A = this chain, B = another copy of it.
Amino acid sequence: MSSVVRGARARARIEVTAAIKEEARRQLASDGAAKLSLRAVARELGMVSSALYRYFPSRDDLLTALIIDAYDSLGETAEAAHAAVADAAPVERWVTVGEAVRGWALAHPQEYALIYGSPVPGYSAPQTTVPAAARVGLLLIGIVRDAHRSHALEVPLLTDELVPEAVRLAADLAPDLPPGAVTALVAAWAQLYGLVGFELFGQFNRVVEEREPFFRHAVTRLAQGVGLR
């Protein structure tokens, strides 16, 4: 992809594409993914609906673009929050990332639902979304790796029944970490999203009163379970 914008037409295309995504994001935030309507977006932008298909070949493609943006926005938020405490103790770094994820989710519920709730049924996220989706995971791996390198990681034990190969990530992204740590890390990663999802989707209504301290407590224990101290 060339970074040089060749002419007025190319520049206009970029602007219109951005405007469409912006308006779509607005409608997504206010009404949810199911009610996101191409026609309504076009109407709001003062163009006819068929013109919009010059920019996104289908509704699903527009949604995919929004999903990637959402992953990036979440990843950026988490990375920024983490950067502010990069030199702190591992547990604090972990908790900070967890709280950043929760904060972003509460601020962008529909976008969170789009990426971590049930994927819009009948639609499976294409491969393009993978790199953007991995950002928070990589952040967590980095924290555990740092702890391990400075011998501050208490490696969790593996049950007998669990073969180390169960978590493929070990061989791919974190070959330097012991299997027990990777396993615990992946599980904690998923569990973090369980906590956020339950709060966001109302499962904690009439159950958990003080959400924020509860989350901080739970996510701290999650960090300890991974072996961070």
Contact = CB atoms under 8 A, between A and B. Distances in A.
Interface of A: 31-35, 110, 113-114, 116-122, 124-125, 130, 133, 156, 158-159, 161-163, 165-169, 172, 183-184, 186-187, 189-195, 197-199, 201-204, 206-210, 213-214, 216-218, 220-222, 225
Contacts of A166: 208-210, 213-214, 217
Nearest to A187: B218
Contacts of A210: 162-163, 165-166
A187 B121 contact: no
A187 B193 contact: no
Given A118-B201, A194-B195, A163 B213 contact: yes
A193 B203 CA distance: 11
Q: How many copies of this kind of chain does the complex include?
A: 2
B183 A214 contact: yes
A116 B194 CA distance: 10
Contacts of A213: 161-163, 166
A58 B210 CA distance: 36
A207 B167 contact: yes
B162 A202 contact: no
Contacts of A189: 198
A208 B186 contact: yes
A206 B168 CA distance: 7
B124 A202 contact: yes
Nearest to A166: B210
B208 A168 contact: yes
Contact of A217 (B113, B116, B121, B161): B161
